[in-house]
Every structure is written in structure tokens, then in C-alpha cells.
Amino acid sequence: MTEIKLPDTTNWGEPDWGIRVPVRDGGGIDFRDCFVGRAGQVPDEAPAHLGLAQRGSVVDPNTPPFEFPVNKKAVVWADNIADLVEQAKLGQWNAATDIPWDKLHPLPADLEQAVCQICTFMIQNEYLALYLPAKLLTRVDPRFTEVVLFLASQVEDEARHVEVFTKRALANGGGLQYVSAATEWSLKSLLTQEDFTSASFLLHILGEGTFMELLKFLEEVAPDPVTAQVFKMTRQDEGRHVGYGVSHIAYHLKHDPALVLQLTQAAEARAAFLRQAAGASPFVQQALAVLAGGGSAPEQIAHGRERVKELYKEMHATRVKRLIQVGFQRGMAERISNLHGGAVPNFM
Ligand SMILES: [Fe+2]
Ligand SMILES: [Fe+2]
């Protein structure tokens, strides 16, 4: 038998040995306990030549450079990132079997049409929320393992949202409804964002933060408990996505206060684009008013429109609160929130 000749690793560094992460009581092995030894050392800037090796591995110096464009800890990290990854796995559910689809009963045609119209619109937004983090994730250096795994969980969540809204639209005598070009323009202006920080700010904080309010409202006005459950379970997932956005933008702002300017400009640029190119989808406005008013009679729609106006106010208040939580001054928070929802009623 020929001997395997190992390379001389004298100058590579010394691998860890004797690491033993504890098993938690009933909780298995948890990422929160894995910040040990070399694997636990998260670099402020990821060196290009470590390729796809796991943080803490001893890497051959002849490894080709990968040069992941997002390679700074301050840009992606969050103090609670390990918690977020573990929560993401606990929060997984199955759109095929965790919704009591067999309890769905026929609805009056106007309400079913409104639900189907909303689902059609939700799916557009969910595709954006799937594609954008999928794009961003491929740019993040694997040294930031927990961030990569969190974004992967978000992609999985959004795939489930596409599934659940599609199934709801097809399940109860209706079907997929109209798509407005205005919505597509608005979502395109997000999908074409290239900078990790601006994209994440617009998506995780302004977009999904506002979307959560919409989901809460839809749960309240849903015409039946099964449809309400669809909105409720979707919103629980969105809470984690917004949680990552808030934690990591706060972390980034703490390390780089000048970021306020970049984020404000990102919100301004998108608002300018929306004012010029997009508007609110009339189909969605109508469907929201029908659901909120409980039907399509003129007085019901009028009542529904009043409730939707209240929703916009709540969305603004929540955005401001969240921006302050991230680290913005109140005046700037008001300004950015108005940019997002002001000229064009904008959910994502
Ligand atoms: Fe979603
Ligand atoms: Fe999301």
C-alpha cells in the first residue's frame, strides 16, 4: 500500500482539538453554544482566501480567492443572530398540512374574490421577498455562517408563503386574480437593489415591517377563520425577518453612524422612482376595502376605505417606532417613513 503524503502544514496554523459543545436540556446542540475555539472567532473582515471552508478550519494557503463582496462583520452581523437562526428552525410549518384546509367553507362571491385578489398580490410580494434575500445571500462570505443560514431560512419561509397564498387562491371556488403593473414596478425597484445594506434596509425594515401590519389587518378582516390562519402564520415568519433587519441595521449603525445618510438616500431614491413609475394597485385597494367593509355594497366599501385609512396611519406609526429602535432620530424616522408610504400607498 502506498503511503498518502500529507502536505507540510507547519505554517498553516494549528487546528482545534478537544472542542465539546454541550447538549442543551431537551434542546440538542444550539448555535448559541458554538462560539468556541477557532470556530467561534468571527472576524471583523473576512479574508478572501478562505473560500467555502467553515470558520475555524485550517485552510491551505493555496486556496483560490473567492472575494465574496459582503465580507465585513459590521454589514451583516446582529448580536442575536444565533438566536434568530435557532428560532427560524423552530418556526417552520407546512403549508400543505398545518392550515385546516378542510374547514374552509364557501364564501359570498364578493368576499371570495377579494381574498383571491389579495392572495394574488401577496404572492407577487412573496416572490420578491424570496428572490431578494436569495440574491443577497450568495454575496455573503461564509465566515458569517449564522447570517447565511438565517437568510437561507428566510428564503424557505418565503417559498412557503408563495405556496400558502397560491393554495388559498385555488382552494375555495375562486382562483388567481389581477396583477397590476404598478405593483410589479414597485417590486422591481427592490429586486434591482445591488447594495446589501440598502437592499436589506428597504426589504427587512421598511418593506417587511409594513407588510407585517398589512398581515395583521388582513387577519382581523378575513371573512373566515381558515383564511385568517393563513395570514397569522405568515406574519409569525415575517416577525423573524424584520427582527434580523432591526438587529443588524442597529448593529451596523452603531459601528458606522454615517450609514444614516446612505439609508436615507436609498429610501429617497426608491420613493422618487415610485412617484414617477408606480401607483397603488386599484385591484388591491378595492379588495382591501371589500374585506374591511365586509362586502361590496357601496356603504360597506365606504366603511372599508375608512378602516384602510386607519391602517395606513398605523403602518406609519409602526415604521417610525421601528426606525427609532434601530437608531434613527425621530425627525429622520418620520421623514423616511413618509418617503416609504407617503406619495404612493406602499406595502412592500
Ligand atoms: Fe413572506
Ligand atoms: Fe419575509
* Cα–Cα distance, 111 to 294 (Å, whole number): 7
Residue entry with cell 426589504: 203
Q: What angle do CA 148, 149, 150 make, to 5 degrees?
A: 90
CB 252 within 8 A of CB 72: no
CB 180 within 8 A of CB 301: no
CB 146 within 8 A of CB 81: yes
C-alpha 347 to ligand 2 mean position (Å): 12
C-alpha 348 to ligand 1 mean position (Å): 10
CB atoms within 10 A of CB 74: 16
The pLDDT score that the predictor gives to residue 309 is 93
Coil, helix or strand at residue 347 = coil
Residue 328 belongs to what domain range? 73-341
* Cα–Cα distance, 167 to 342 (Å, whole number): 33
C-alpha 188 to ligand 1 mean position (Å): 16
C-alpha 41 to ligand 2 mean position (Å): 29
Q: What angle do CA 265, 309, 123 make, to 5 degrees?
A: 70
Q: How many domains does the chain have?
A: 1
Instruction: Give the closest residue to 35 by CA, choosing from 154, 150, 151, 145.
Output: 145
CB 144 within 8 A of CB 76: yes
* Cα–Cα distance, 337 to 343 (Å, whole number): 11
What are the pLDDT digits (tens) for 138-164? 999 999 999 999 999 999 999 999 999
**What are φ and ψ of residue 174, in 5° steps?**
-100, -120
**What are φ and ψ of residue 28, in 5° steps?**
70, -155
Is residue 45 a part of any domain in this protein?
A: no
Is residue 63 a part of any domain in this protein?
A: no
C-alpha 191 to ligand 1 mean position (Å): 15
Is residue 35 a part of any domain in this protein?
A: no
C-alpha 34 to ligand 2 mean position (Å): 26
C-alpha 154 to ligand 2 mean position (Å): 6
Is residue 64 a part of any domain in this protein?
A: no
Instruction: Specify burial of residue 161 (Cβ count, 10 A radius: 0-12, 13-18, 19+).
Output: buried
What is the chain's pLDDT, residue by residue, as a tens digit (348 residues)? 689 999 999 999 999 999 999 999 987 999 999 999 999 999 999 999 999 999 999 999 999 999 999 999 999 999 999 999 999 999 999 999 999 999 999 999 999 999 999 999 999 999 999 999 999 999 999 999 999 999 999 999 999 999 999 999 999 999 999 999 989 998 999 999 999 999 999 999 999 999 999 999 999 999 999 999 999 999 999 999 999 999 999 999 999 999 999 999 998 888 888 877 667 789 999 999 999 999 999 999 999 999 999 999 999 999 999 999 999 999 999 999 988 886 556 677
Which residues are within 8 A (CB) of 318 and not within 5 positions of it... i.e. 6 or more apart? 209, 210, 212, 213
C-alpha 41 to ligand 1 mean position (Å): 32
CB 143 within 8 A of CB 42: yes
Q: What is the pTM of this model?
A: 0.95
Instruction: Specify burial of residue 232 (Cβ count, 10 A radius: 0-12, 13-18, 19+).
Output: middle
Is residue 235 a part of any domain in this protein?
A: yes
* Cα–Cα distance, 217 to 314 (Å, whole number): 10
Is residue 31 a part of any domain in this protein?
A: no
Is residue 327 a part of any domain in this protein?
A: yes
C-alpha 184 to ligand 2 mean position (Å): 17
Rg, C-alpha atoms of the chain: 23
CATH code where residue 78 lies: 1.10.620.20
Is residue 61 a part of any domain in this protein?
A: no
CB 305 within 8 A of CB 289: yes
C-alpha 158 to ligand 1 mean position (Å): 4
Measured from the alpha carbon of residue 241, the closest ligand is: 2
C-alpha 215 to ligand 2 mean position (Å): 11
Indicate the Cα dihedral angle 296, 299, 300, 306, nearest 10°. 130
* Cα–Cα distance, 315 to 209 (Å, whole number): 8
C-alpha 120 to ligand 1 mean position (Å): 13
C-alpha 348 to ligand 2 mean position (Å): 10
The pLDDT score that the predictor gives to residue 271 is 86
CB 154 within 8 A of CB 241: yes
Give Dmax (Cα) for the chain.
Answer: 88
* Residues with a beta carbon under 5 angstroms from ion ligand 2: 129, 208, 238, 241
